[in-house]
């Protein structure tokens, strides 16, 4: 699939509607664009209003045959379902052929989290002469782990208090972020993260800034850090720390949640801090917590192993 291929006008109109009416994040729009490209490639010359349930079932079978997991197909179907609801309201479509389609089942995959020792080793990694960009990276990664932010939420932070994108309140020790579904939430920031953020702001003040850029985290050229750039810097940081584990931004979020749940046992509080709309999204971390307890049992109980 060519991710840069042009979309039909109806697809571009739908993406525009998501951006303006639903205030969908940039990463969400990228994901929807890929899913709509898949639909147009599978449909060929046929307009979406002409597709039927049997066509969608055939498309799902082809995607599954290409190796896509049930989880990935479920996300694609969700995007298509939303498209057809929009077509019914705005373009005169008469039915939603995706409404009753379910993805193939996949084995449950638990999110991977760092152990507490691994998180500490990663964040405590030091260099003899920390550069300006390394100061920035340390501040980003401390904030990831301290507050359980999503990648898009961290990339969107601004310097200005009250910004629509999100900001850090140093006096209160809190960060406010613009999350999914246009939802703003405020999360505490730990002392090490606050200290790293203050150091970064001192460094940032000495860097060149592109125009009126107000992004909290900027590149060497003075522009807002993109999600892809943040992901790449974290990969580089993890390699240089010698941790020996592939670390990605969402792993910090998983680690934040599982470590907090291990210490507190308060699932509702973790749900609020993560910004999950449903407790069911947060319950996966109870399985991670159980894994931790099982490991403790296996290593400590005299009758745990034969």
* 285 assigned to active site: yes
* 204 assigned to active site: no
* 253 assigned to active site: yes
**In which residue ranges of the chain is pLDDT below 50?**
293, 306
**Predicted pLDDT of residue 290:** 53
**Predicted pLDDT of residue 170:** 96
Give the residue from 28, 55, 90 where a domain finishes.
90
Q: Exposure pattern of 266-300 as b/e (b: 16+ CB <10 Å)?
A: ebeebbebbbbeeeeebebbeebbeebeeeeeeee
* 94 assigned to active site: no
**Predicted pLDDT of residue 230:** 95
Give the residue from 203, 222, 242 where a domain finishes.
242
Considering the domain architecture, whether residues 71 and 142 belong to the same structural domain is answered as no
**Predicted pLDDT of residue 288:** 54
Which is catalytic among the residues 138, 185, 204, 253? 253
CATH number, domain with residue 169? 1.10.443.10
**CA proximity to 174, closest of 285, 273, 276:** 273
Q: How far apart are CA 44 and CA 77, in angstroms?
A: 18
* 276 assigned to active site: yes
Q: State the residue range of the domain holding 71.
A: 9-90
**Predicted pLDDT of residue 305:** 56
**Predicted pLDDT of residue 35:** 95
**Predicted pLDDT of residue 275:** 75
**Predicted pLDDT of residue 250:** 86
* 22 assigned to active site: no
Q: Is residue 65 part of a domain?
A: yes
Which is catalytic among the residues 136, 150, 204, 233? 150
Considering the domain architecture, whether residues 235 and 125 belong to the same structural domain is answered as yes
Give the residue from 242, 273, 295 where a domain finishes.
242
pLDDT digits (tens, 9 = 90+) for 262-287: 777 777 877 888 877 776 666 666 66
pLDDT digits (tens, 9 = 90+) for 155-202: 999 999 988 889 999 999 999 998 777 788 898 999 999 999 999 999
């Amino acid at each position: 699939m060519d991710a840069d291929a042009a979309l039909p006008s109806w697809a571009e109109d739908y993406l525009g509607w998501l951006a303006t009416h639903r205030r969908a994040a940039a990463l969400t729009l990228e994901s929807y664009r890929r899913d709509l490209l898949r639909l147009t490639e599978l449909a060929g010359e046929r307009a979406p209003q002409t597709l039927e349930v049997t066509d969608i079932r055939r498309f799902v079978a082809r995607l599954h045959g290409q190796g896509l997991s049930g989880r990935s197909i479920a996300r694609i179907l969700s995007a298509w379902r939303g498209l057809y609801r929009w077509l019914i309201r705005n373009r005169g479509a008469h039915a939603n052929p995706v409404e009753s389609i379910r993805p193939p089942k996949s084995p449950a995959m638990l999110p991977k989290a760092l152990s507490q020792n691994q998180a500490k080793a990663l964040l405590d990694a030091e260099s003899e002469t920390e550069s300006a960009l390394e100061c920035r990276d340390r501040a980003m990664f401390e904030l990831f782990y301290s507050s359980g932010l999503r990648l898009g939420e961290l990339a969107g932070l601004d310097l200005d208090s009250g910004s629509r994108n999100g900001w850090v309140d140093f006096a209160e020790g809190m960060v406010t972020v613009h999350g999914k579904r246009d939802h703003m939430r405020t999360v505490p920031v730990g002392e090490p993260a606050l200290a790293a953020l203050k150091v970064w702001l001192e460094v940032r003040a000495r860097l060149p800034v592109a125009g009126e850029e107000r992004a909290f985290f900027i590149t060497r050229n003075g522009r807002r850090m993109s999600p892809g750039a943040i992901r790449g810097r974290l990969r580089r940081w993890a390699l240089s720390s010698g941790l020996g584990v592939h670390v990605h931004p969402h792993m910090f979020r998983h680690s934040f949640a599982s470590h907090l749940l291990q210490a507190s046992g308060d699932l509702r509080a973790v749900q609020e801090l993560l910004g999950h709309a449903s407790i069911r999204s947060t319950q996966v971390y109870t399985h991670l917590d159980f894994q931790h307890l099982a490991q403790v049992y296996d290593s400590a109980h005299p009758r745990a192993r034969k």
